[in-house]
Every structure is written in structure tokens, then in C-alpha cells.
Chains A and B, each alone.
Chain A
Amino acid sequence: MTTSTTPSRFGGIAGTYMGLAGALVLMLALFGSLSHYFLTVNTFVTIANDIPALTVMAVGMTFVLIIAGIDLSVGSVMALSSGLCSLAILQWHWGLPAALLLGLATGTACGLATGIVSVKWQLPSFIVSLGMLEVARGGAYLVTDSRTQYIGDMIDWLNSSLIGGISPAFIIAFLIIVIGHVTLTRSVFGRYMIGIGTNEEAMRLAGVDPRPIKIAVYALLGLLSSIAGMFQTARLEAADPNTGIGIELQVIAAVVIGGTSLMGGRGSVISTFFGVLIISVLEAGMAQIGASEPTKRIITGLVIIAAVMLDKYRDTRKQRRH
């Protein structure tokens, strides 16, 4: 007999996000008890304004990991699109909208290049994006003359506070999370991404060409990286060619803490957002209690490993039940 019961919506959401939310609350409580200044509005506004760049890249990285790929070039792409944007404003005297568009196009092009090379030539995205990391970083130094290029306040509106101290950048990042989540769960594109990450050959033999979809995912991450670049530019009122060095590790860590599988086929944008929050709260909290840089890095590293172990444990337990 076939029976049909839809699992309760609440049960699903609670099961999926409860662990992450619990970890987050635990961290907040811990840092709150360690520092009187932690649980204040100020801290949260700071965190909220710190995370947009990380968040938008993490959304794109979630998609890349879901199709069983990886992209290490996000930080460099961020710097290059920021640099080109500043070049257009300072040297070519473009208007801000055109310069921003150039920045976004740059990022998209980088992602597209990574995608096309790795998909068409069937090369590991790890290596191709490692190459792109160097190429884009070199490009960033080239277009900025290896110096921080000050643009001035024409772009800082992106990062100025609006209602309750929240910046437009944060609102954009939030919208991207919402769109990203709906895309993953409710669109054909999202369904195809999940399918490709689960079993690419099965997708191909179901009549779906995986290649354009994979390329689009890398291009999308490129675009999102350049949006992160614009946020960063607005924050500094300048294009810094050294911006985003090593940020790919933070981005990947946030996505993995959120439970997205490096093997592909499984992931959630909302969980990724929790991952970003956990990384950011950890960082802000440790800064607040005056932890030294080495301690901070050691603890962040341990948290990442613990998160993946926990995820693996949950996964094996689930499999054993079947």
C-alpha cells in the first residue's frame, strides 16, 4: 500500500536548523558571560555590518559545493573587481553605476572562466580555481598599481547605517540569502544543481546536460564575489589589492559548518547563513574577550573540525538506521 503523509513543516525546519541555532545561542551565552560588553546592540550592529561580504560569497560557495566543486579564487576575484571598479572611477572618470557594473562584470567573467575551463576540459575545479586565485590577485595588483586606491565617499552609502544601524549592504546580503534559498529549494536550476552533485551521470542519462548548469554556478559565485568586493570597497572607501586574502577559507568554513557536503548533492543556504553567523560571532567574541591572534586561529580551526565531525556523525547514524 502506498501511504501519503507529508512530514510536518515545523519538524523539518526544527530538525535542520535547531542544531546550528543551538550552537549559536550557546556561543552567545558563553561570550556574554565572559564579557559584559558582548551582549549589547553595538556588538550586533558591528557583526551585522561585518558579514555581508562573507555572506554573499558563502551563498555562491554553497551552490559550488552542492555541485561537488570548489572555488578558491573568491578573495582574489573580490580584489580584482574592486580594483577595476576603482580604476574606472579614478582613471577613466566613469560614473559610479557604470563602474559598479564593470566590477560585477569582472567577477562574473572570472567565475565564468573558472567554470568553462574546469567543466569543458574536465579539470578539477580545485586546481583551476587555484590558478584563478593567482591570476586575479595579479590582476588586482596590476590595476591598482599595487597600492590602495582611495575613491572617497561616493560609494560609502552602501555601508552607511540605515534604520537600527543596519547598512544597505546587509539588506542586499539578506535578500541574496532569501533568493538563494528559494532558488535552491524551488527552482529547476536548484533541482538540477542538487541532482548533478548527487549523481552527474544519472542527470546526463535523464537528458539533462550538466555542463551549462555547472558553468553557471561558477559564474554566479564570481558575480557574488564581486558584490562582496563592492561591499568591501564601500567599507574602506578604497580598493585595496590585498583585500580578501585567505577569505576563501573562511567562506568554505562557513558553508561546511552549515552542513553542506563537500561531496556534493546536499546543502542549504539558510544553514550556510548560520555558518557565517557562527564564524563571525566566534571572531567578534574572541576579539571582545581579548584572545590573542594565535588563540583565535587555533580555536576557529578546532570549531571547523568539530562541525564537520558532528555532521559526519549525524550522517552515519542516519545511514545506520536504514
Chain B
Amino acid sequence: MSPTPYLRLAGIGKRYATPVLSDIDLTLNRGEVLALTGENGAGKSTLSKIVAGLIEPSSGEMWLEDAPYRPESRHAAEKLGIRMVMQELSLLPTLSVAENLYLGHLPQRAGFLRTTELNAMAAEHMAAIGLDRIDPRQPVGELGIGHQQMVEIARSLIGNCQLLILDEPTAMLTPHEIDRLFEQIAQLKAKKVSLVYISHRLGEVEAIADRVCVLRDGHHVETRPMAGSSQDDIVRLMVGRDVLASTIRPTLPPAAPLLRVDALSRAPVVQEVSFEVRPGEIFGIAGLVGSGRTELLRLIFGADRADSGAIYLHGEASPTPIPSPQEAVHRGIGMITEDRKSQSLLLDKSIVVNTTLATLNRVTRRGWLKPLRERALTRELADTLDIRCHTLEQAVGELSGGNQQKVVLARWLLRDCDVLLLDEPTRGVDIGARADIYQQMEKMAADGKALVVVSSDLRELMEICDRIGVMSAGRLVKTFPRGEWEQQTLLEAAFSGYSKQAPQQS
């Protein structure tokens, strides 16, 4: 332990409706790389945004070299030398590298840009951090994504940078670009810059971190030196020990699969995924964010085009081409999208309108709506699902997340789909509504439908699914029948595609 840590956190917490982060104690030394890791939603991004001044903590205190540290804004944190590179790059693609680097303070004379001076400044800065291979005059949009990331980092290093936070910096990089990034990190370390490296790619964490901090459900689990820790140790820390009592799923009678997906691919996000779902079965898909889960559902639903592969419905011998969502719905497939606000709902329209959207033929005669019947059907579903609202004419945008999701579910219940694809069906949904949604899913299964559920919440999948397939880096790496999974084995499978060593056999 060095005598004075550069940054110290004590009791940092953040709550919105519910606590997302509680009681985090952490220290960071000069010239140290601290990896921050944990499952989806563990609080990694929230914690680092608090440090970078983007989010104000609800509780706790921070010290920067023994002085109290309470950044009012990102700008205030940056002035003190604390910078964060977000997952989404904030560069302007049409401007040059140099212009992007010095965007806030371009050298000028009487309003005219002093291009020569600007390019010289940029070249000097880039050379100082070993990026002299990038031409400062080139438009950023012409650079590869890896170099763009480097420019973003270079921009953070202008002036007095003491602490650099990188949030999932390698998500879009090729292995070669990752190596270049690691060289950069090593150089920064040598200059006594502290780094926080957020990643769930344990192979990378192992390669560059000095210490690793594991978060779980917003709590600090442990911070330990990387030396002497294996990837398995870290996974074990991420998972925790709590075991949930699972609901009992009925045994399925043997039957031909209702949905069979054969070697479905869309490069590079989904690669040769095959699985089948029988009538009455709930098939879960686990995996990290970005592992291709959402993309897989979109392929099945025809929202994106597959490069290759086939989909078989109702046990038919010949594949069913699904070129569009329209065809999917026509064939009895429904999809609850990951982002209900932007992809499912007409927010300023009523519950009635949103519920009947996919099934207007049931409430019309020769193209004309029958408002009473439309309303009656919606009423029935609203009662079944216990949708809480003032009136059915209320705009869905005014409802809570859980009730919004119930409206989406009602839409597909009304449609009476044989196959329902659910992408994060309980994200942003409160506990009560969650139970209603689970109950409805179980009822659909009992009615002989096939359900495919994507979720980041492993416990949710373990509770409701008959089988769970795990995706990692675009592949369905392993499928577990009910009773043969454990949170840890599921997580290991989810990480397997990203770690540098071969997937473990279990």
C-alpha cells in the first residue's frame, strides 16, 4: 500500500426509486490500473459516473489526495484532472482529428481558425502520447473505430489528466486494436496516471489490471490484487452465493418443436445459432450485453435480415422464410422488444390504440373500426393483466414501466401468437408487475405456446425457464436443461467467448 491514495471513496451510494449503489468504499493509487467488474447492472457505470462528476451521489464522501472531492459537474471533475471515456464516442466525424481534440478552445485570430497552429498543437500532443501515426488533419469519420477510440482518449489526456476512466473501451475493437490500447495504458501508467478500467472481459482484466474491484447488485464485494487471482475466482465473486427457490415447471410432453432455429447467422453479431423450442416450453437466453441476444431475436422476427440459416415453424419439414416482421406476425410470431418506448409503444396514444395495434382485423369490419368492440377487448385484457390506469383512453406514456410492459404483452396476447419472443421483459418493471408478467408467461406456456426469453437477470431466467441457452460473443455456447444449471456455470459460459483461454468444459 502506498502512503496516500490518490482517490478515496467512503460510503458512496446512489438511489433513484430503488438503491442502485450502496456503501462503496474504495481507494485508487497513483499510476495504478483498477479494473471494475461485475454482472450487467451491478453498478459499474453508475459508480464511475459519480467519480467523473456526471452523477451526484446520494450518500457518501470522496477525497482527492486528502482534500474533499465533490464535483458539481463533469466539467468540474475534468478541471481537477479526472476524465472519463464513455462507451459511446462523442467525436464529430466530419471534423478533423485536430479540430476534435481542441474543440472547446480552437486557436483563432479574429474568428478565423489558425489551422497551422492547430495541427501543430495536435501533432505535438499526439506524439507525446505515442499516437504520431494518426494524421491530425484527417477527418475522424475516416478513421477506423479503434483509432477513433484512441483520439477520444487523446482528447481526455489534453492538459492535466490524473485519472482516466475507460468504460468498456474494447467493446468495438479488434484484437490488434486492443493490443494498441494496452500499450497506451502502459504508457499512461508509467506517467503516474491512474486508470479505472470497466470491463466484463476477464481476459483483458487479467492482462492489465493491478487490482480488481468486483461489484454485485450495487454492493462492493471485494477488491483484491490481480496477481494471485484467477478468472474463476472473479466469476465466483461476481455471482455470490444466494440461491433462489425455483418455481416448479410442469414436465413437457414429447412434441415436435414449435420453433426451430437452424444455424442462423448475421455477421458478426450472431454466428450459427441453433436451438429449438417445444410447445409449452419457456426457453431462456442468457448472455452479456452485446453477446448477440437481441440481434438473435430480431433475426427470428424478421426485423433484420439473416446472412444464412433457417427457421422452421410448427415442426414443418421445410423452412419458413421470414423476411419482415409483417411476415413473422402473420406466421404467429410476436416480439416484445428490448426498448418498449422507442420500439413498441405509441407513447402519446391511448392504451386501447396500443393494445389493438397488431390485431386491428379483430376489431374492424371491412376496414372500419368498431370502437366499442375495440374497447371491450382492451378492457378484458387490462383486467386480466391488472393494468393500472385511470381510463383506457390514457396515453401509455403516462403509465409506469410495468404497466407499459403489460400493454405490450396485451398486444401479443390479443394477437394469440404461437411463438412469443421476449427481450428483457421485466427491465424497468416493478416487483408486482413482474409477478403478473411471469404468471402470464406461464399461462401462455400452459396453453401450448413457445416462449423465448432474453434476460440479463440470471435469477429471473432460472426461475421461469425450462431450458437456458447461453450466448457469448455471438454464439450459443451452451444449453442447460432445468436442474442442471447454476448461476456460476451460466456465468462462466457467458464469459467463455470473451476470455482468452478456451471455453471450459463443465
List, in ascending order, chain B residues with CB within 8 A of A266's CB: 348
Partner of B345, one of A202, A207, A209: A202
Structural contact, B349 and A205, CB atoms closer than 8 A: no
Docked-complex contact A5 and B391, CB < 8 angstroms: yes
In the complex, what's the smallest C-beta–C-beta distance from B367 to chain A, in angstroms? 5
Among listed A47-55, A79-87, A193-201, A295-303, interface-contacting one: A193-201
Residues of B within 8 A of A7 (CB): 391, 393
Choose among B325, B383, B398 the residue that contacts A205 (Cβ–Cβ < 8 A). Answer: B325
Q: Is the CB of B328 within 8 A of A207?
A: yes
Is the beta-carbon distance between A205 and B391 smaller than 8 angstroms?
no
Min distance, Cβ A204 to any Cβ of chain B, angstroms: 6
**Residue B360 is within 8 A (CB to CB) of chain A in the complex:** yes
> With the chains together, A188 CA to B364 CA distance in Å?
8
Give A201 to B324 CA distance when docked, in angstroms: 12
Known: A199-B347, A207-B329. A188 touches B358 (CB 8 A): no
Report B-chain residues with C-beta under 8 Å of the C-beta of A199: 342-343, 345-347
B388 touches A194 (CB 8 A): no
- B261 within 8 Å of A (CB atoms): no
B357 touches A205 (CB 8 A): no
A186 and B361 CA atoms in complex are apart in Å by: 13
Whether B353 contacts A191 by the Cβ 8 Å rule is yes
B330 within 8 A of A: yes
> Given A186-B369, A204-B303, do A3 and B390 touch, yes or no (CB 8 Å)?
yes
Q: Are A205 and B390 in contact (CB under 8 A)?
A: no
A109 to B211, CA, bound (A): 69
Q: A2-B386, A205-B303, A265-B346 are in contact. Are A195 and B357 (CB under 8 A)?
A: yes
Give Cα distance in the complex from A208 to B356, angstroms. Answer: 12
Contact A204 B325 (CB under 8 A): yes
**Considering only CB atoms, which chain A residue lies closest to B327 in the complex?**
A207
- The verdict on B85 contacting chain A, using a C-beta distance below 8 Å, is no
Does A154 interact with chain B (Cβ within 8 Å)? Answer: no
Give the contacting residue for A207; candidates B325, B364, B391; CB below 8 A: B325
Bound: A6/B352 CA distance, A = 12
A window 182-226: CB within 8 A of B: 186-189, 191-192, 194-195, 198-199, 201-209
B286: interface (CB < 8 Å) = no
Q: Which residues on the A side are within 8 Å of B415 (C-beta)?
A: 207
Contact between A202 and B346, CB atoms less than 8 A apart: yes
Contact A207 B393, CB 8 Å, known A2-B386, A191-B360, A199-B342: no
Whether a CB of chain A sits under 8 angstroms from the CB of B387 is yes
The smallest beta-carbon distance between A213 and chain B, in angstroms, is 12
Q: How far is the CB of B382 from chain A (nearest CB, A)?
A: 5
* Given A2-B388, A202-B345, A207:B367 Cβ within 8 A: no
B484 to chain A, nearest CB (A): 34
Q: Quick check: B329 and A194 within 8 Å, CB to CB?
A: no
Q: Which residues of B contact A203 (CB under 8 A)?
A: 357
Is A163 located at the chain interface by the 8 A CB criterion? no
Contacts of A208 in B (CB 8 A): 326, 357-358
Residues from chain B with a CB closer than 8 A to the CB of A192 are: 360
Which residue of the partner chain B has the closest CB to A3? B390
Q: Is B8 an interface residue (CB 8 A)?
A: no
CB of B392 closer than 8 Å to a CB of A: yes
**What is the chain B residue whose CB lies nearest that of A201?**
B343
Q: Which residue of A lies closest to B345 (CB)?
A: A202
Shortest CB-to-CB span from A220 to chain B, Å, is: 14
Nearest chain A CB to B80 CB, angstrom units: 36
Residue of A nearest to B389 (CB): A2
- With beta carbons under 8 angstroms apart, the residue of A2, A187, A198, A204 that contacts B383 is A2
- Docked pose: A195 CA to B326 CA in angstroms: 15
- The reply on A322 being an interface residue by CB < 8 A is yes
CB contact list, A64-86 vs B, under 8 A: none
CA A174 to CA B326, docked complex, whole Å: 36
- Given contact pairs A187-B368, A188-B364, A208-B326, A2 touches B342 in the complex (Cβ within 8 A): no
Q: Is the CB of A198 within 8 A of B347?
A: yes
**A: interface residue count bin:** 20 to 34
Whether B342 contacts A201 by the Cβ 8 Å rule is yes
CB of B409 closer than 8 Å to a CB of A: no
Known: A188-B360, A205-B337, A208-B326. A194 touches B349 (CB 8 A): yes
Verify B348–A206 contact, CB threshold 8 A: no
| A207 touching B326, Cβ below 8 Å | yes
* Cα distance, A266 to B392, chains bound together (Å): 19
Q: Take A205-B303, A206-B329 as given contacts and tell me if A265 and B348 are in contact as well, using a CB distance cutoff of 8 Å.
A: yes
CA distance A194 to B347 in the complex (A): 12
Which residues, 125 to 174 on A, are CB-close (under 8 Å) to B? none
Query: Is A4 at the interface (CB under 8 A from chain B)?
Result: yes
**B416 CB to nearest chain A CB (Å):** 13
B490 interface residue (CB < 8 Å to A): no
Contact A2 B329 (CB under 8 A): no
| A13 within 8 Å of B (CB atoms) | no
Closest B residue, CB atoms, query A195: B346
Which residues of chain A are within 8 angstroms of B358 by Cβ–Cβ distance? 206-208
B110 smallest CB distance to A (angstroms): 36
What is the distance, in angstroms, from B332's C-beta to the closest C-beta of chain A? 10
Q: For residue A188, which residues in chain B have a CB less than 8 angstroms away from its CB?
A: 360-361, 364, 367-369
Contacts of B330 in A (CB 8 A): 207
Q: Is B147 an interface residue (CB 8 A)?
A: no
Q: A189 CB to closest chain B CB, in angstroms?
A: 7
Distance between Cα atoms of A191 and B368 in the complex (Å): 10
Closest Cβ of chain A to B413, distance in Å, is 13
* Residues on the B chain within 8 Å of A5, using CB: 390-391
Partner of A191, one of B326, B329, B348, B369: B369
B184 at the interface (CB under 8 A from A): no
* B503 interface residue (CB < 8 Å to A): no
Contacts of B283 in A (CB 8 A): none
From B329, B392, B411, give the contact of A4 (CB < 8 A): B392
- Residue in chain B with minimal CB distance to A315: B348
| Bound: A236/B263 CA distance, A | 68
Residues of B within 8 A of A194 (CB): 346, 349, 353
Residues on the B chain within 8 Å of A187, using CB: 367-369
Contact A198 B349 (CB under 8 A): yes
Does B137 reach chain A (CB closer than 8 Å)? no
CB pair B393 A205 closer than 8 Å: no
In the bound complex, what is the Cα–Cα distance between A186 and B391 (angstroms)? 20
Chain A positions within 8 Å of B345 at CB level:
199, 202
B425–chain A nearest beta-carbon distance, Å: 15
A188-B361, A195-B349 are known; give 7 further A-B pairs, CB within 8 A: A188-B364, A188-B367, A191-B369, A194-B346, A205-B335, A207-B330, A209-B326
20 A/B residue pairs, CB under 8 Å, sorted by A: A2-B389, A3-B391, A5-B391, A6-B391, A7-B391, A186-B369, A188-B368, A189-B367, A191-B357, A194-B346, A195-B346, A195-B357, A198-B348, A202-B343, A202-B346, A204-B326, A208-B357, A209-B326, A265-B349, A322-B397
Q: 6 closest pairs, A vs B, by CB?
A: A207-B329, A198-B346, A206-B358, A209-B326, A206-B357, A188-B360
Which residues of B are at the interface with A, using a C-beta cutoff of 8 A? 301, 303, 324-326, 328-330, 335, 337, 342-349, 353, 357-358, 360-361, 364, 367-369, 371, 379, 382-383, 386-393, 397-398, 411, 415
